[in-house]
Amino acid sequence: SQQGEEDPQALSIQEGENATMNCSYKTSINNLQWYRQNSGRGLVHLILIRSNEREKHSGRLRVTLDTSKKSSSLLITASRAADTASYFCAIEIYNQGGKLIFGQGTELSVKP
Amino acid sequence: DVKVTQSSRYLVKRTGEKVFLECVQDMDHENMFWYRQDPGLGLRLIYFSYDVKMKEKGDIPEGYSVSREKKERFSLILESASTNQTSMYLCASSFSDRGTDTQYFGPGTRLTVL
């Protein structure tokens, strides 16, 4: 499967701690994206990193991409209870523009 | 703000019924997608469309069909609903921007087939 695989499947931390989620994939990509899903809702796009980029920041989010290892990580710094959600990585496969393959997600719980 | 709406948040149907799930986006996006989401399986692509009257099969098209008569509307059809189609259905749309497409999702429809 070309699907992104996420690790860990579930993560529980205290408010203020950092949360790190990892994503691995198997094919060449145009870009890798991270999405967030609150319970029972649709997904919301967080950040996109192109295949020629290594690191990207957006507020408390930091994403890294290592195309040689076919892996990415999402770091949420100084987590808050409101960050509790499921986080999905999605890859846009090279030369298949527009179509995304999603991972199974990491369920993050941030305890106050 | 991009808005993607789905016709129902919750739907209960009986086995064998024909089911229509509607999705409408208001940002003139070319691309539209239907996924189903099941615990432990993540999001799986059912069908997608790059333009009006165009459709492409995703990873799990069996038992489903789609219709895109207008650019803003993408319908998912379950010709004869079965219990294994009980799931959360998510619609998404995106603007074609070669290599940087991000998808905007609707709130989802939780379908139960009895």
Q: For A56-80, what is the mean pLDDT?
A: 97
Test B45 with A31 for CB contact under 8 angstroms. Answer: no
**pLDDT band per the 50, 70, 90 thresholds, residue B95:** confident
Q: Select the residue from A99, A101, A104, A106 to test the B interface by mutation, using most B Cβ atoms within 10 A.
A: A99
Tokens at residue B49, please? 């469309």
Q: What is the predicted pLDDT for the residue at A6? A: 87
* A84-108: pLDDT as tens digits: 999 999 998 877 767 899 999 999 9
**φ, ψ at B14 (rounded to 5°):** -100, 155
Mean pLDDT score of chain B: 93
Answer yes or no: is pLDDT of A111 > 90: yes
- A2 pLDDT exceeds 60? no
Q: What is the pLDDT of residue B41?
A: 86
Instruction: Tell me the Ramachandran region of residue B57: left when phi exceeds 0, alpha when psi lies from -120 to 50, beta otherwise.
Output: beta
Interchain proximity A88–B42, CB inside 8 Å: yes
Evaluate if residue B100 carries a pLDDT over 80. Answer: no
Identify whether the C-beta of residue B43 lies closer than 8 Å to the C-beta of residue B24: no
Q: DSSP string covering A41-78, please? A: S-EEEEEEEETT-SEEEETTEEEEEETTTTEEEEEE-S
Q: Which two tokens stand for residue A91?
A: 């890859």
The per-residue DSSP string of B28-89 comes to --SEEEEEEEETTTEEEEEEEESSTT--EE-S--TTEEEEEEETTEEEEEESS--GGG-EEE
Of residues B21 and A30, the one with the higher pLDDT is: B21
Looking at residue A97, its pLDDT comes to 65
Q: Which residues in chain A touch residue B106, judged by CB atoms under 8 angstroms apart?
A: 42
Tell me how close the Cα of B74 comes to any Cα of chain A, in angstroms.
16
pLDDT of residue A48: 94
A3-43 pLDDT, tens digit each: 678 889 999 999 999 999 999 999 999 899 999 999 888 99
Q: Which of B22-36, B69-83, B85-99 has the lowest mean pLDDT?
A: B85-99
pLDDT at B97: 67
pLDDT at A1 over 60: no
Work out the mean pLDDT of chain A and round it to a whole number.
92
